[in-house]
A and B are shown apart, each in its own frame.
Chain A
Amino acid sequence: MNKRWKVKFLFLFLILLFAVVLGLTRGAVNLSLSELFLKANSYVLVLRSLRILTAIVVGMGLSVAGIALQAILRNPLAEPYLLGTSSGAGLCAVLALVLGVSSVFIPLAAFIGAVLTMILVYSLARQGSRIGAQSLILSGVIVSVALSAIIVFLISISTNEVLHGALWWLWGSMQAYDFKLLIAAGSIVVLGILAVFVLAQDLNAISLGEEEAVHLGIDSESLKKILFFVTSLITAALVSICGIIGFVGLIIPHIVRLLVGPNHRILIPSSCILGAAFMVFCDMLSRTLFAPMEIPIGVITAIIGAPIFIILLKRKQSVK
Chain B
Amino acid sequence: MQNLLQVNNLVGGYGREMVIKDVSFMIKKGEFVGIIGPNGSGKSTLLRLMSRVLVPGHGGVIFSGRDIARMGLKDLACQVAFVSQDTAINFSFSVEEIVLMGRIPHLKRLQSEVRKDFDIAERALSLTDTLGIRKKDIDGISAGERQRVIIAKALAQEPALLLLDEPTSHLDIGHQVQILDLLKKLNRRDDLTIVMVLHDLNLASEYCSRIILLDEGKIFKDGTPDEVLTYQNIESVYKTIVIVNRNPLSSKTYVMLVSREK
Contacts and interface: CB of A to CB of B under 8 A. Distances in A.
Interface of A: 70-71, 74, 76, 198, 201, 204-205, 207-209, 211-212, 214-219, 257, 261-263, 320
13 contacts: A198-B110, A201-B104, A204-B97, A208-B89, A208-B98, A211-B53, A212-B84, A215-B82, A216-B77, A217-B74, A217-B75, A257-B91, A262-B92
Nearest to B48: A211
Contacts of A211: 48, 53, 82, 84
B262 interface: no
A198 B109 contact: yes
Given A204-B101, A208-B101, A320-B140, A74 B90 contact: yes
Interface in B77-93: 77-78, 80-82, 84, 87-93
Contacts of A218: 73-74, 104
A209 B82 CA distance: 12
A201 B108 CA distance: 10
Contacts of B107: 201
B157 A212 contact: no
Contacts, number: 77
A235 B78 CA distance: 36
Interface of B: 48, 51-53, 72-78, 80-82, 84, 87-94, 97-98, 101-102, 104-105, 107, 109-110, 140, 157
Contacts of A205: 101, 104
A212 B51 CA distance: 11
The 3 closest A-B pairs by CB, nearest first: A217-B77, A217-B74, A262-B91
B93 A262 contact: yes
Contacts of A215: 51, 53, 77, 80-82
Nearest to B97: A263
Nearest to A214: B53
Contacts of B104: 201, 204-205, 216-218
A207 B74 contact: no
Contact of B91 (A201, A207, A217, A219): A207
A137 to B, nearest CB: 15
Nearest to B52: A214
A98 to B, nearest CB: 42
A204 B105 CA distance: 12
Given A204-B104, A214-B51, A320-B140, A209 B88 contact: yes
Contacts of A217: 72-78, 104-105
A204 B153 CA distance: 13
Given A208-B90, A216-B157, 18 more contacts: A70-B90, A71-B90, A198-B110, A201-B107, A204-B97, A205-B104, A209-B84, A211-B82, A212-B82, A212-B84, A212-B87, A214-B52, A215-B82, A216-B105, A218-B73, A261-B92, A262-B91, A262-B93
Contacts of B98: 208
Contact of B101 (A214, A216, A257, A261): A216
A138 to B, nearest CB: 19
Contacts of A74: 90
A207 B91 CA distance: 7
A219 B87 CA distance: 18
Contact of A219 (B73, B78, B90): B73
A208 B77 CA distance: 15
Most A C-beta atoms less than 10 A away, residue of B51, B77, B94: B77
